[in-house]
Amino acid sequence: MGRLDGRVAFITGGGRGVGRGIALAMAEEGARVGVIDIDADTAKETATLVEEAGGEAIAIQGDVAVRADCERGINEAVAALGGLDILVNNAAWTPTPGLMLMDFDDETFGRVLSTNLWATFFCMQIAQPHFVERGRGAIINFASGSGTIGNEAQGAYAAAKEGVRGLSRTAAREWGPLGIRVNIVCPFANSPGMIDWAALDPEGHEAAIQQIPLRRVGDCQDDVGRVCVFLASDEADYVTGQTMWVDGGSGSVR
């Protein structure tokens, strides 16, 4: 038996990178998976990979910065897959290359907040009644070392991701009596953003790897995905409000 047999997961930004890795890892453990992404083609690719591995998945196109898209996506997944047990708020956006604080305009700063913080809030509010109906639920929200450390040229992203952590801790307290657990993951993984960074600044990228005690970038499925499986499973039934740094030991602020 898989650790997530009989459960339904809804994963934002699931078309590639970390989101795809989580979808594959959860499907491997028996979860039925709903994947939403702004790019319809990549969402379909993830769903196809899940199905080819023997799992069940639905691909949904949507912009999670828009509440109506979040509501439609979750409702489609619930109808197609038979409920909702797990929510993974992984979708993210930040300008590449980054911007120093004085170079942000309001529109760009706002877009970062919408895609990271507001999207997480939308999906959590929409998913909560489905968890209450089940009598349980597991939410996994994604933050970043950019926020816990305070990386230069990542001010909007840092603000949004630390906002996600604050939101998650409050939800863990408010919704714990309802059987809903809320945890946070801060990854350092081979995502599309990481690949872009390596292409734009190979020396900086390599220097960062050399600062990681485990001396490698994490794998989206095998490293990040497996931690998410644990957090969504009964094995983590007494874990909530926690931040898990899946970063090979690279974070300097806890």
Position 247 in a domain:
no
| Angle between helix 119-134 and helix 67-81 axes, rounded to 10 deg | 30
Task: Give the mean model confidence (pLDDT) for residues 140-154.
Answer: 92
Position 24 in a domain:
yes
* pTM of the entire predicted model: 0.95
**In this model, does residue 118 exceed pLDDT 90?**
yes
CATH classification of the domain holding 149: 3.40.50.720
The answer to whether residue 157 is catalytic is yes
Chain position carrying tokens 């090979």 = 248
Q: Determine which one of 157, 175, 230, 245 is catalytic.
A: 157
Position 253 in a domain:
no
Domain holding 51, by residue range, is: 8-242
Task: Give the mean model confidence (pLDDT) for residues 28-53.
Answer: 98
pLDDT at 250: 85
| Band of residue 197 on the pLDDT scale cut at 50, 70, 90 | confident
Position 125 in a domain:
yes
Task: Give the mean model confidence (pLDDT) for residues 70-79.
Answer: 98
**In this model, does residue 4 exceed pLDDT 50?**
yes
Buried b (16+ CB within 10 A) or exposed e, 83-104: ebbbbbbbbbbbbeebbeeeeb
Position 249 in a domain:
no
Structural domain count, the chain: 1
Q: What is the 8-class DSSP label of residue 114?
A: I
Chain position carrying tokens 């997530």 = 4
